[in-house]
């Protein structure tokens, strides 16, 4: 009888140990998603959040909800793309900035992850458009100047310009998610005072305020962009590219174009970023 009890105890210990190992090295569906906006600092935001001990951050853009090919692979496929949860990490987060402007994504996320928290980072749409242009231009040897694009008759149909009218896309999201489920990050302030924006995000995610000013420094070789104090703590060479000068005429055209969009977004999102 004693021998039987000992064997049972040993088996229970093995099973318990195995279960604990599985929990420690599992993958979870995300509890939070950075849904956009492209060229507003989504990559920087995720990198900064990844230093929090409670967060398991995806290292790549998953493109599950905005890709028909990926979406048909199902929720198990999506879960398997998530990072392995280690130690005391309990919050999984991914970022795919194209989610924000994709028509199908809000409904798909709502139906599969109705309780997920959404993070949206934004910048002055004029700066965002120029940054988008710089990235596109880097892939082409011969490309029109930014001013030349804005002088074209149908320039408002150009994707780098269309994205900047954020209110159009936010309306789609608010059909499915209440405003309190969406946290807005000021991309301009993230560059100047990243610890401040990270404090707000940590509050929204209901996690400890672990990420502080002491975790950052500013890299003079990358136009003064913030980096975290860890190996490979700065973003890659594609970040911090020099922006071209644009004419005052171009700037006035874009200011007038975005004026109404910004005011409507400010009212709808109930935020008051300085550039709005």
**41 marked among binding-site residues:** yes
**79 marked among binding-site residues:** no
**234 marked among binding-site residues:** no
**131 marked among binding-site residues:** yes
**241 marked among binding-site residues:** yes
* Residue of 90, 33, 28 whose CA lies nearest to 65: 33
* Residue of 114, 112, 131, 116 whose CA lies nearest to 37: 131
**164 marked among binding-site residues:** no
Token pair of 219, please?
A: 């890299």
Numbers of helices and strands, H then E, in the chain? 12, 7
**240 marked among binding-site residues:** yes
* Full DSSP string of 134-150: HHHHTT-SS---HHHHH
**39 marked among binding-site residues:** yes
Alpha helices in 50-184 (DSSP H): 68-71, 75-80, 105-112, 125-137, 146-151, 159-162, 166-173
**202 marked among binding-site residues:** no
* Residue of 107, 44, 41 whose CA lies nearest to 71: 107
Catalytic residue selected from 39, 47, 95, 117? 39
Using CA atoms, how far apart are residues 234 and 241, in angstroms rounded to an integer?
13
Is 39 among the residues known to form the active site? yes
- Tell me the three state secondary structure of residue 173: helix
**123 marked among binding-site residues:** yes
Annotated binding site for 3'-phosphoadenylyl sulfate: 39-43, 123, 131, 239-243
Annotated binding site: 39-43, 123, 131, 239-243
Residues identified as active-site: 39
């Amino acid at each position: 009888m004693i021998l039987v009890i000992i064997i049972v105890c040993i088996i229970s210990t093995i099973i318990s140990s195995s279960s604990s190992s599985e929990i420690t090295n599992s993958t979870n569906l995300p509890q939070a998603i950075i849904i956009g906006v492209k060229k507003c600092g989504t990559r920087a935001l995720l990198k900064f959040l990844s230093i929090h001990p409670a967060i398991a951050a995806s290292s790549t853009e998953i493109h599950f909800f905005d890709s028909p090919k990926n979406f048909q692979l199902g929720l198990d496929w999506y879960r398997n793309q998530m990072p392995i949860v280690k130690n005391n990490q309990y919050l999984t987060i991914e970022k795919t900035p194209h989610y924000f402007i994709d028509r199908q994504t809000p409904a798909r996320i709502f139906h599969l992850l109705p309780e997920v928290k959404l993070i949206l980072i934004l910048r002055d749409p004029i700066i965002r458009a120029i940054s988008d242009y710089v990235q596109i231009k880097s892939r082409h040897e011969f490309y029109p100047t930014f001013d030349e694009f804005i002088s074209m008759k149908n320039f408002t149909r150009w994707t780098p310009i269309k994205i900047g009218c954020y209110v159009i896309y936010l309306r789609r999201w608010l059909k499915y998610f209440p405003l309190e489920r969406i946290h807005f990050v000021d991309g301009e302030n993230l560059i100047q005072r990243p610890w401040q924006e990270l404090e707000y995000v940590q509050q929204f995610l209901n996690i400890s305020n672990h990420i502080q000013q002491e975790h950052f420094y500013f890299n003079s070789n990358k136009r003064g962009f913030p980096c975290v104090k860890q190996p490979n703590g700065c973003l890659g060479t594609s970040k911090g590219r020099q922006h071209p000068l644009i004419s005052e005429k171009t700037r006035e055209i874009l200011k007038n174009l975005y004026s109404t969009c910004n005011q409507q977004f400010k009212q709808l999102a109930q935020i008051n970023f300085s550039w709005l």
